[in-house]
Amino acid sequence: MSEEKPWSEDRLLVLVEDDEAFARTLKRSFERRGYRVLTADNQAALNALLESHNPQYAVVDLKLAAESGLVCVQALHAHDPAMLIVVLTGFASIATAVEAIKLGASHYLAKPSNTDDIEAAFARSAGDASTPLAPRPTSIKTLEWEHIHEVLKDSDFNISEAARRLGMHRRTLARKLAKRQIG
C-alpha cells in the first residue's frame, strides 16, 4: 500500500490479516468508526508499512499463512511500545496468550470477535485487579489442545515436526487440527 505522505492522525490502525475477505470486512468496519486502516498480510508487508507510518493501534491475526503473528506483535511493539495491539485468533491457547502479552500485545481475543470487541480491548489498556476469579474446570481435551498448540508453536507451526515431537502420526495431528479451526 503506497501513500504520498505518512498519516499522522491519532486513529491510524494497522491490520495484519492474511484472510482477504475478513481483512476487507474488518477494515471497512473500522473505517466507518473513523479509523484510517492500513493492511498487511505478512511480516514483510508490515515492515514496509512501518517504514513510513506510525500507527497507534494494531490488530494481528495469530496464524498468518506460514508465519506466526507473534513475530508481527514483536515488530509492532519494537516500533512503538505505546501502540495498542490486539491479537485475534481462532487458535487460542494459554501459551500463545502469554507469549503475545510478553511480546507487547495489549489484549488477546479469540475469534469470532468483532469491531466492538476489538475497540473495547483498545479501551481497556490497563489490567483490572477486581476481576473475579472463577474456577474454570479444565478438560482433558482442553489440556491436550493447549499442549498441541504449544508444541506447534515451538516447531514454528510445522505439522510434521510437531507430530514427531508429540509422538503421533502426522495425519492424526492434521485430523485433530481440522476439528478446531486455526487462524
User: In this structure, is residue 134 part of a structural domain?
Assistant: no
- What's the whole-number mean pLDDT along residues 47-74? 92
Choosing from 81, 96, 123, the residue where a domain stops is 123
Rounded to 10 deg, the angle between the 140-154 and 170-179 helix axes is 120
Calpha distance 37→85 (Å, rounded):
14
Task: Give the model's pLDDT for residue 128.
Answer: 62
**Among 21-25, 46-50, 74-78, 123-127, the least confident range:** 123-127
Q: Is 55 helix (H, G, I), strand (E, B) or coil?
A: coil
Calpha distance 157→149 (Å, rounded):
9
How do residues 126-175 score in pLDDT, each as one tens digit? 666 666 666 656 667 777 877 887 888 888 888 899 899 999 999 988 88
Domain extent for 157 = 140-179
User: In this structure, is residue 131 part of a structural domain?
Assistant: no
Distances 128 to 77, 95, 125, 180 between C-alpha atoms, Å: 22, 21, 10, 30
Q: For the chain, what is the mean pLDDT?
A: 84
User: In this structure, is residue 6 part of a structural domain?
Assistant: no
Same domain, yes or no: 19 and 90: yes
The domain total for the chain is 2
For residue 165, the number of C-alpha atoms closer than 13 Å in the C-beta half-sphere is: 16
Match 517504514 to its residue by C-alpha cell: 51
Same domain, yes or no: 145 and 75: no
Same domain, yes or no: 17 and 95: yes
Same domain, yes or no: 67 and 147: no
Question: Residue 39 above 70 pLDDT?
Answer: yes
Same domain, yes or no: 160 and 100: no
